[in-house]
Homo-oligomer: A and B are copies of this chain.
């Protein structure tokens, strides 16, 4: 059995730099026509100039593995030093979104923001020029444990979307029933991305009986009821929800240690996992819109013209892809991308 649909886009991905970028870009570029590239490098992609340099590096890496048609969609990182002028300049050179990381809430968020209100002039400029605001939606309140941070961020989220009613806002990697419920009720300038791994994990897959470094990510997957609401949001056809993998590779040594970084390298398995989830809910007819259309429409990009084929042919996920342990390493999946 084959499944042929419009070539997908990944609206949330970490491509890294240097050797890691060069080794792993193939896993993204061979599946996705476009990908929204996260700016949390060291140092961060703080402005349009940084974004252009990074774009060139990614394009070179993609070309080197034979995917010169792969199109990175660039973002900048909002820091306390970001100005409205930087938004205008970034927009001019093609940056389409800016990412807000609450300070210290995830890998590479040391430059993030704790005083959200101070950035409101920047959000105003983003609304004016038409740049999308991507939110890592977790409250940095240190009295909250990681489970509670997403729901607590909804107050900040409300304030942003009501203060800037024409700003396009994406709540990234939604992970809680509370956030899904709120996003559903929002107008169409507000959306959320859903990852493959939040569709299939609960917190027990990280720390239920043993501590699994390779499944650890932020926001953490939560209860079965949260996963259920995320699955329903993805498979329902609701235009608020589209795909962003948050694929985030870490070298094996930075995972298999005493203090593992957050991030799941899902790129090699994301599409097969999505197909299994949608198939399990009799919703394969909703998959194309989720991975190939709604995101593009939200970002006002043309729909891709190419096709991607998945075949039902069991395969075992390799234990390693370029010194990185992929999500679901060693597991058998029912579908694979025809390359």
State the A residues within 8 Å of B (CB). 104-106, 142-143, 145-148, 202-204, 206-214, 216, 218, 220, 222-224, 255-262, 325
Contacts and interface: CB of A to CB of B under 8 A. Distances in A.
Nearest to A218: B209
- A148, A207, A261: most-surrounded residue (chain B CB, <10 A): A207
A203 B258 contact: no
A211 B211 contact: yes
Given A106-B209, A216-B211, A204 B258 contact: no
B213 A146 contact: no
Nearest to A208: B146
Interface residues of A: mostly helix, strand, loop or mixed? loop
Taken together, the copies of this chain in the complex come to: 2
Contact of A206 (B207, B224, B255): B207
Contacts of A145: 202-204, 208, 222-224
Contacts of A259: 210-213
A257 B256 contact: yes
A254 to B, nearest CB: 10
B203 A147 contact: yes
A146 B207 contact: yes
Contacts of A255: 258
A50 to B, nearest CB: 24
Contacts of A147: 147, 203
Contacts of A203: 145-147
23 contacts: A105-B209, A106-B209, A143-B224, A145-B202, A145-B203, A145-B208, A145-B223, A146-B203, A146-B204, A146-B208, A147-B147, A147-B203, A206-B211, A209-B262, A210-B262, A211-B213, A211-B216, A212-B259, A213-B259, A255-B258, A256-B257, A256-B258, A258-B325
Contacts of A146: 203-204, 207-208
